[in-house]
Amino acid sequence: RYIAKIRSAVEATDGLYLTWAGEPILAVFHSSSYGKTEGSENVWISPLPYLVPVNSPETPERVSNLLSTVAISAEDFRATVLGKYPGASLSGEPGRWISDPAYTESGRVKSLKIGGVIISGSDFRVLFGLRSTAFSFEYDGEAFVFSVAGFGHGVGMSQYGANLLAEDGAAFDEILANYYPGTELARFSGSFPS
């Protein structure tokens, strides 16, 4: 049954590709977002006109692994930050080590100040193994607790979101139009070099 569905989908879309201004797009994707995807300029250097924040239907009720929590002791937090950013000043009350969070349009962490050093949300995510930059945090007296939503960089198509849109009756071209706004489907009509 599944092989037949896959074969049908492949045959129906054979030769199709997405374009912007007549050129193939960078069709990036990620696992899941919580309500909104991310703009490419907040993850990579350049903004692309079709990789902008768009609505995505994931909710904790519909995606079981959408939310996650990471707890990091103050000692481990200090050692990890100083290992990468030795200029950070991490003395005194740990609850004051993180300050000045800035957020992107989609609500993800764009940057934080850690012990006086500004760290991008993407670098912080990698440093502590968080599933995404859509996180909030608190210090509970012993550990930093990060509440994280979604999984991945957040740019382009959400795989869980696309699946939910399909379950709700959206066709493949409607799903692509949602995640890559302003793009157009084209059909390859040439031949590949042998």
Residues 6+ apart with CB under 8 A from 136: 146, 147
Residues 6+ apart with CB under 8 A from 63: 32, 160, 164
pTM of the predicted model as reported, rounded to 2 decimal places: 0.89
Indicate the helix (H) or strand (E) that contains 146.
Answer: strand 143-149
Residue 125 and residue 10: Cα distance in Å, rounded? 36
Name the residue with tokens 């054979």. Answer: 14
**38-45 contacts: CB < 8 A, separation 24 or more?**
38/104, 38/106, 38/108, 38/133, 38/153, 38/154, 38/155, 39/104, 39/105, 39/106, 39/155, 40/155, 40/156, 42/104, 42/106, 42/108, 42/110, 42/121, 42/122, 43/122, 43/153, 43/154, 43/155, 44/155
- What would the mean pLDDT of 56-78 be, rounded to a whole number? 96
Position 5 pLDDT exceeds 70: yes
Residue 49 and residue 18: Cα distance in Å, rounded? 13
Residue 182 and residue 194: Cα distance in Å, rounded? 33
Q: Residue 27: its pLDDT value, please? A: 96
Q: Which of 109, 158, 160, 112 is nearest to 133 (CA)?
A: 109
Name the residue with tokens 């007296």. Answer: 141
Position 193 pLDDT exceeds 70: no
pLDDT classification of 189: cutoffs 50, 70, 90? confident
Q: pLDDT per residue over 14-55, tens digit each?
A: 999 999 999 999 999 999 999 999 999 999 888 999 999 999
Q: pLDDT per residue over 53-63, tens digit each?
A: 999 999 999 99
Q: pLDDT per residue over 102-156, tens digit each?
A: 999 999 999 999 999 999 999 999 999 999 999 999 999 999 999 999 999 999 9
pLDDT classification of 161: cutoffs 50, 70, 90? very high
Position 194 pLDDT exceeds 60: no
Q: Residue 45: its pLDDT value, please? A: 82
- What would the mean pLDDT of 173-177 be, rounded to a whole number? 97
- What would the mean pLDDT of 74-85 be, rounded to a whole number? 96
Where helices occur in 44-98 by DSSP H, the ranges are 74-84
